[in-house]
Amino acid sequence: MTGQWSAPGRVNIIGEHVDYADGLCLPFAIPERTVVEVTRRNDDRLRLTSAFENGEFDGELTEIGPGSPKGWAGYVAGVLWALWEAGHPVHGIDLHVTASVPLGSGLSSSAALECAAAIAVDELFELGLPRTELAKACIRAENEVVGANTGGMDQAASLLATAGNAILIDTRNGDTRQVPFSPADAGLAVLVIDTKVRHAHADGQYGQRRAAVEESIALIGSLRDADLAAVAGLPAEIRPRARHIVTEIARVEQVVALLEEGRLAEIGPILDASHASLADDLEVSCAELDLAVETARVAGALGARMVGGGFGGSAIALTPLDRVDAVGDAVRAAFGAAGLAEPTVRLSEPSAGAHRDGRSLWRHRARPGCR
Ligand code: ADP
Ligand code: MG
């Protein structure tokens, strides 16, 4: 059996750097998708190829494990390994990646690849697993086989998101809830600005911030339950880090309340406050991200903030539809004037989560005599 499956990347509206601290985050699935063509094999061989990355993997299921295979194939092979480890009857596949979320732009091409592979394998081997179980396998693939230290937001968004909604993820217990988010209906758009910058010290800085947050938790308990009075009692060097977590979780709650009341246009100042907190308290922004958000605001965005781990990557700007071109032009011009490479500006509408492509055709074929 052969088929084609796809899964989207994601962007996070708010709730940044809180997934390792029992926090809430609110991503939506972007229109860009990773597409895989997959054939079920009758043996345990894996043949993995991609139109986007060099290096074909041709090996056996038994060769997969932590650190193996190396490179991009680990994201796919890791999903099969995690499902097999969990006791599910998976076997070999031939898989080819034919389309992709932009790689390494902070839009989560890694989770899109894992999730597209996961729903393909689930269907081809008739596992019938809930998407929450598939998400767990994708997270294990990334953490254990690839060895990337990431939370579960990307996989939940790619597998569970629906068009016209953001998905509220409670990282304390894994609960999710759809939250209406349809910028176009409010005359708005979310622009995703990829600065194309990634500072070399990003990973080390991420680890330091995480360590400071974990130290805070050891002293005052879960920051989900902490208030600013408790944070004020922390040692000065870790206090601002914890303050970001506590205030950011509160901002997610404020945004969700506004969205559920249909007041989408009012979330702009909360996005601005999130950026200020990431820049001043957590200190994970950089000159290029600050330039992107400040320029977007001056050109008419209602709110803007950096997204992702920081020290480069992307920013988002909530922009009136009639200011979209002006904001994009202004950001490109500002980067040009600063001698920086031209950023990519994309318009992102909340889109569907992972699914089989061309399902109606497949059903039609599967039911002969049906017109
Ligand atoms: P992001 O998830 O933000 O795009 P990551 O560094 O987490 O960035 O993941 C990017 C990596 O995922 C790539 O370097 C590659 O190994 C793998 N990857 C993602 N999409 C594809 C694809 N279409 N084909 C092959 N590998 C891919
Ligand atoms: Mg990733």
Query: Residue 201's pLDDT band (boundaries 50, 70, 90)?
Result: confident
β-pairing, 312-320 vs 303-306, is antiparallel
Ligand 2 centre distance from Cα of residue 186 (Å): 30
Distance 138 CA to ligand 2 centre (A): 11
Q: Comparing 369 with 115, which gets the higher pLDDT? A: 115
Percent of the chain with pLDDT over 90: 91
From the CA of 103, how far away is ligand 1's center (Å)?
A: 5
**244-281 per-position pLDDT tens digit:** 999 999 999 999 999 999 999 999 999 999 999 999 99
> Which protein residues are within 6 Å of ligand 1, measured from CB?
34, 50, 52-53, 72, 75, 97, 100, 103-110, 113
Q: Over the stretch 39-66, which tens digit does the pLDDT of each residue have?
A: 999 999 999 999 999 999 999 999 999 9
Q: Which residue has the higher pLDDT, 369 or 106?
A: 106
Q: List the structure tokens of 23.
A: 């926090």
| 154 part of the active site | yes
Among protein residues, the one with the nearest Cα to ligand 1's atom 23 is 100
Does the pLDDT value for residue 338 go beyond 80?
yes
Look up the pTM and report it.
0.93
Pocket test for ligand 1, best of 113, 138, 314 (most atoms within 8 A of CB): 113
Atom of ligand 1 nearest to the CA of 71: 16
- Ligand 1 centre from 72 Cα, in Å? 7
For a pocket test of ligand 1, which of 101, 109, 311 has the largest count of ligand atoms closer than 8 A to its C-beta? 109
Quickly state the pLDDT bin for 359 (edges 50, 70, 90). Answer: low
Domain boundaries, the chain: 2-177, 182-362
pLDDT for the residue 106: 86
Instruction: Centre a 10 Å sphere on the Cβ of residue 79 and count the other Cβ atoms it contains.
Output: 30
Ligand 1 atom 12 nearest Cα? 110
Which residue puts its alpha carbon closest to atom 2 of ligand 1?
108
Q: What are phi and psi of 74, to 5 degrees?
A: -60, -30
Selecting among 154, 194, 272, 281, the annotated active-site residue is 154
Is residue 361 over pLDDT 80? no
Question: According to the model, what pLDDT value does residue 246 have?
Answer: 98
User: Which segment of 148-157, 231-240, 255-264 scores lowest on mean pLDDT?
Assistant: 148-157
* Ordered strands of the 312-320 beta sheet: 303-306, 312-320, 188-198, 344-348
Residue 319 pLDDT exceeds 80: yes
CA-closest residue to ligand 1 atom 8:
104
What is the residue-wise DSSP string for 147-175?
-----SHHHHHHHH--TTEEEEEETTT--
Residue 264: per-residue pLDDT: 98
Give SS3 for 338: coil
Return the best residue to mutate from 70, 110, 158, 196 for the ligand 1 pocket (most ligand atoms within 8 A of CB). 110
Region of residue 364 (phi > 0: left; psi between -120 and 50: alpha; otherwise: beta): alpha
**155-185 tens-digit pLDDT:** 999 999 999 999 999 999 999 999 999 999 9
Is the pLDDT confidence value at 369 over 80? no
Centre of ligand 1 to C-alpha 37, Å, is 17
Give me ligand 2 centre to Cα 88, in Å: 25
Class of domain 182-362: alpha beta
Which ligand 1 atom is nearest residue 51's CA? Answer: 24
Candidates 204, 194, 182; CA nearest to 331 is: 194
Q: Considering only residues 295 and 370, tell me which one the structure prediction assigns the higher pLDDT.
A: 295
Express the helix, strand and coil content of the chain in percent, nearest 5 each.
Answer: 45, 25, 35
List the residue whose alpha carbon is closest to atom 3 of ligand 1. 106
pLDDT digits (tens, 9 = 90+) for 68-78: 999 999 999 99
In the predicted model, what is the mean pLDDT of the chain? 95
8-state DSSP, 353:
-
Q: How far apart are CA 105 and CA 344, in angstroms?
A: 10
Query: CA 135 → CA 16, 131, 157, 218, 360, distances in Å?
Result: 20, 6, 9, 28, 25
Question: Torsions phi, psi of 340, nearest 5?
Answer: -100, 160
**Secondary-structure class of domain 2-177 per CATH:** alpha beta
Q: Which atom of ligand 1 is nearest to the CA of 50?
A: 24
